[in-house]
A and B are shown apart, each in its own frame.
Chain A
């Protein structure tokens, strides 16, 4: 587990925010997932040691929240909203399109390593449904055509990177 120096600095800083070290469990998990994309077992043990806990205490938190990933994901995380408004106007089709474009299955890393496609619940932009969140960027009115457009764009970027 290779954490960036900035992550390490933020971790040390965030621990000081709490009267008890163990309260740092959640923020540390977020910081590590932001940095390396998921929470490997090594990270659980690293956090436990850092916060003077037992690994089981951190493991409980990791498994409680579905937002923590135990496996690596693709370079980009495509989150397709499937709550009512989006579902009504074609979110499932949008999602299938992404999977088809990248030849992948829900929750899996695409063969080219570029994306992981997942469903999420309401992204609070129901007026512009269907919506898709790619990493931190919100895409609105994503029908199948727009999904194709976005996919092409991602592929082009990948090609450019070489």
Chain B
């Protein structure tokens, strides 16, 4: 594992308590480190500082020194160095800590500031909370509870602004709710690099707008919904569907590419309602692509492979075919590490060739990489493959044509999409395991219904060789079986060494047999993953280009 450099520390005083915090961080972050909340709207740790909402006002003081002699000025009464307090409040987001800095976050002045800012923010804010999607995760609601006066002194007419602007295909804007923090504007400029949002007009008429004729349509647009502190920006998909407090949160991983953005899956009673990014400063910061958020729809998609026959019968039929010899194994870069481990073992037991199907697309330089399999690295680590996979299975096709292969075990892939003809499929017996139906499952002698990533648990290894875990958010489709369990039982049925199929047993085998996984256990994996030693594969020319927090290996290595 690569350890980050130890940051230089400075001592500051927060509400009378001396604390050591990393040099250069701002007051909001310093306070957060000691469990003190400084309320804020416009500040976002992954965006530049705008300093426009003024919610984060604090009192600031510095130790007094004599100008002429540079000697500390002592306070007679306490015997300590005197503190010069700045008479006016300062913004915490725009103030970086320096040695000896004194900060008050709970003084009367600070409290009055917060109340004042809240009162101004609320005078034009609509009373929408009962119908607002943000309710329950709204910063304005939270701060109003803490610092609102509870009744309004405003007797004038509230402002009227556009209520329902479709900013792009996935984002709706309610301008009356906007607190003009500019987070969405800065996100579009700085992260998505699609500068289309801005404020027009001024004063209480300021209105968030997309440049006329343009759209907020980039593949990162929904991050603006996540970071909007209020309910001004909402997701077309999630809008009015569910109250957030009813939803269960499950940690997961975005499977759309080898970036492996960390996610949270929000579900209720077995139904998923939305996917949002989960902060991982080494992988995706606080962002994820829009394309990864709709993947939950595969759980209830029309092309799901429906279970047929009992698992025992299917396994018996499958193992009979496999034991007959002449087997080839097509594993998947979409399978979890655990599933790939069993797939590799089945191949080994049957002395079959194994491969996976590569899936390439254009990398966007942010959080979708060129390798559209989430777990190509897992296939390497588990020994399912030894070199980089190809998009077309030409070797398998040749082997089928030559009559060398009688049976193909296919995990999740569609062989026709990987270059095999219907003729070639017809020449072999196919055993298929996967969650969606395709030409291969239709041609299969035995097809076993598996689960989507949202219905099972396991790990993936992303492009950085970071081992990351995901957990099942919703129960699996009735009658379908966890792919890991199916593969473990299939391995046993073809005479392989039996290991329990539960995660703990699989991991004890994994850590015993695979040297880079030595000493690891599923239960102990940190939520933000663990970087593995990748030197064994440093010679491979992986397809990924640069993305957030990822630099491809040097040109020589990839050449």
A residues sitting closer than 8 Å to B (CB atoms) are: 41, 54-57, 59-60, 63-64
Contacts and interface: CB of A to CB of B under 8 A. Distances in A.
Contacts of A57: 195, 198
Contacts of B195: 54, 56-57
5 contacts: A56-B196, A59-B198, A59-B209, A59-B212, A63-B200
A63 B197 CA distance: 14
Interface range, B side: 10 to 19
Nearest to B205: A63
Interface string B192-233: 000111111110000001111010000000000000000000
Nearest to A66: B202
Nearest to B211: A56
A116 to B, nearest CB: 21
A59 B196 contact: no
Interface of B: 195-202, 209-212, 214
B189 to A, nearest CB: 8
A57 B195 CA distance: 8
Query: Taking chain A's interface residues, is the majority helix, strand, or loop, or is none over half, making it mixed?
Result: helix
A63 B196 contact: no
Given A56-B198, A60-B199, 9 more contacts: A41-B212, A54-B196, A55-B214, A56-B197, A59-B198, A59-B212, A63-B201, A64-B200, A64-B202
B201 A64 contact: yes
A42 to B, nearest CB: 12
A92 B201 CA distance: 27
A57 B199 CA distance: 9
Contacts of B196: 54, 56
A63 B198 CA distance: 11
A60 to B, nearest CB: 4
Contacts of B197: 56
A59 B209 CA distance: 10
A68 B458 CA distance: 60
Nearest to A65: B202
A55 B200 CA distance: 12
Contacts of A54: 195-196, 211
Contact of A55 (B199, B201, B202, B211): B211
B212 A60 contact: no
A55, A57, A60 interface centre (most CB from chain B within 10 Å): A60
A17 B330 CA distance: 65
Nearest to B189: A54
Contacts of B209: 56, 59
A59 B211 contact: yes
Contacts of B210: 56
A57 B196 CA distance: 9
Top 7 closest A-B pairs, CB basis? Answer: A63-B200, A56-B198, A56-B211, A54-B195, A60-B198, A64-B202, A55-B211
